[in-house]
Amino acid sequence: MSKVIMVQGTMSNVGKSLLVGGLCRVFAQDGLKVAPFKSQNMALNSFVTADGLELGRAQAMQAECAGVAPSVYMNPILLKPTNDVGSQVIVNGEVVGNMSARDYFAYKKQLVPDIMTAYNELQEWADVIVIEGAGSPAEINLKSDDIVNMGMAKLVDAPVILVGDIDRGGVFAQLLGTLELLEEDERARVKGLVINKFRGDKSLLDSGITMIEDMGKVPVVGTVPYVHLMIDDEDSLSERLDNKWDSSSESLIDIAVIRLPRISNFTDVAPFESINGVKVRFVNNPREIEGSDLVIIPGSKNTISDMKWMRESGMEAAINRFSLNGPVVGICGGFQMMGNTILDPEGVENESEDGLALSSIRGLGLLPIITILQSAKHRSQTEDCFDDLTGIYESLSGEEFIGYEIHNGITNIDYDAIEDTFSKEESPDLVERDDEGKIILVQNGNILGTYVHGIFDNGDLAYRLVEALASKKGVVLQSQDYDFNAIKEAEYDKLADVVRNNLDMDFIYSLIK
């Protein structure tokens, strides 16, 4: 039987995902076989496994920290919000359907066997399973049917570390309040408290820590400093989206990422954040595009709705103006928006933001493509190489890439929009297809669209594109031996150092032994 430890938080975004990742890395460095686990995750950032199944991106990151391949068993239930009151429900990596919050609440207890099957699969090989909770265990209106916090801890008899976020204020109230709202048996499971995201002199916390330990009868087993790490974030609570994290002290190249209302898989831009001299900004105002060197339109959970927002907000006009002289990259939903038309004959996306059904919408018109949304979701890992790209993207030609696809819909060349398929003036410069003949990438001049998530994670592809942008602008980047995979591994090691140096690891090991 695997040993187990669980990390829960006083609320969302206290840093649970990174602490779990850090623990996974520490245990792996110490020679243990480690598996992360989160029974239920709500996030729009997801990953596709080698067998074509979908799980939360945070659990994929934690698997990388542990040095193991991501598996759907690490996240058997994934909820992807489609609007403010409902989500797409994914069980064991496959879509079950869309449910309202109330319907899912009534349904989720039926998923306990799926949760335990997944957990038991990990027990077959893991020495240690590190479980992540969700939100707070003290949501007293939801506790009766909990399957992700104390409900999960009870299912597998896990000791719990409770984490509070001092950066958002009120950390002592967070921790003590959470303990007070737990049932007696739940409170007994909490073996240690962690104060996360601390800035300043730790000695200033000493008196508060003494008081909270006296009042809560639970030891504080670590105060973790606020650190900037280039590691995938779980969801839209990421401070990257609010531009609170400056990715470069000296900005030579400026990249504007459109902050769509239903943005998903924004981790696709992470490689650019790790390049010296590059500033990545998430923007939702058309004026913020001005002065950029590259615009990226990321993925979307509701492409038609977000395209409607682009038009109404003025972002469409701003992007079209920018594209006359500047490069624009679209990924997945952003790629679909670049076309002439998006059709939804099956009602896949169901509703626009104002609640009115839209069966089609005109796209940005940047590429001569047409997309038809389909109820069946395409999920696959994709391995290919760039063909002969032109212009700003030329340096990527011939380079191999590995990524993954998650999308509802198929994209084709819009032949009605092209008078002569072979006309150089009208046809795209490049159309790449997979082994089944499906389009995965289209380039035309400054415009590049692709279905492949993680396409810039490979080697130095992001750096090559930034070098081309710098050359066009007439600036010189600081010389850098750039390999994004190596950078990620170094960041995971830094995360492990932070955890090892700031948590009482002897105490942590005593819990799993």
Distance of CA 343 to CAs 95, 268, 305, 317, 437, Å?
Answer: 21, 25, 12, 21, 20
Q: Which pLDDT score, from 0 to 100, does residue 423 have?
A: 47
Decide if 24 is catalytic. no
Q: Which pLDDT score, from 0 to 100, does residue 420 have?
A: 45
The domains found in the chain, sorted by start residue, are: 3-230+490-512 (3.40.50.300), 253-476 (3.40.50.880)
Alpha carbons 148 and 346: distance in angstroms, whole number: 33
> How many contiguous H segments (helices) and E segments (strands) does the chain have?
15, 25
Alpha carbons 294 and 271: distance in angstroms, whole number: 14
Evaluated on CA atoms 348, 354, 359, 363, the torsion sign reads negative
Take residue 208 and report the two structure tokens written for it: 């508060």
Q: Which pLDDT score, from 0 to 100, does residue 421 have?
A: 45
Alpha carbons 75 and 68: distance in angstroms, whole number: 14
Catalytic residue among 24, 65, 332, 407: 332
CB–CB of 325/446 below 8 Å? yes
DSSP conformational letter for 145: G
Alpha carbons 508 and 161: distance in angstroms, whole number: 9
Catalytic residue among 24, 65, 407, 453: 453
Q: Which pLDDT score, from 0 to 100, does residue 295 have?
A: 98
pTM beyond 0.95, yes or no: no
Phi-psi region of 409 (alpha: psi -120 to 50; beta: other; left: phi over 0): left
Sheet holding 400-413, edge to edge: 360-362, 341-343, 369-385, 400-413
Q: Which pLDDT score, from 0 to 100, does residue 86 have?
A: 82
Helical spans, DSSP H, in 280-436: 303-313, 315-323, 333-337
Take residue 467 and report the two structure tokens written for it: 């070098």
Alpha carbons 110 and 375: distance in angstroms, whole number: 24
Distance of CA 303 to CAs 62, 152, 254, 371, Å?
Answer: 29, 34, 25, 11
Q: Which pLDDT score, from 0 to 100, does residue 209 have?
A: 95
CB–CB of 40/195 below 8 Å? no
Decide if 332 is catalytic. yes
Nearest CA among 493, 437, 432, 484 for reference residue 463: 484
Take residue 154 and report the two structure tokens written for it: 């009870």
Q: Which pLDDT score, from 0 to 100, does residue 410 have?
A: 94
- pLDDT string in tens for the chain (513-residue length): 899 999 999 999 999 999 999 999 999 999 999 999 999 999 889 999 999 999 999 999 999 999 999 999 999 999 998 777 789 999 999 999 999 989 999 999 999 999 999 999 999 999 999 999 999 999 988 888 899 999 999 999 999 999 999 998 999 999 999 999 999 999 999 999 999 999 999 899 999 999 999 999 999 999 999 988 888 766 545 666 776 555 545 789 999 999 999 999 999 999 999 999 999 999 999 999 999 999 999 999 999 999 999 999 999 999 999 999 999 999 999 999 999 999 999 888 865 445 555 688 999 999 999 999 998 999 999 999 999 999 999 999 999 999 999 999 999 998 876 654 444 455 788 899 998 899 999 999 999 999 999 999 999 999 999 999 999 999 998 878 899 999 999 999 999 999 999 999 999 999 998
Q: Which pLDDT score, from 0 to 100, does residue 428 have?
A: 85
Q: Which pLDDT score, from 0 to 100, does residue 424 have?
A: 44
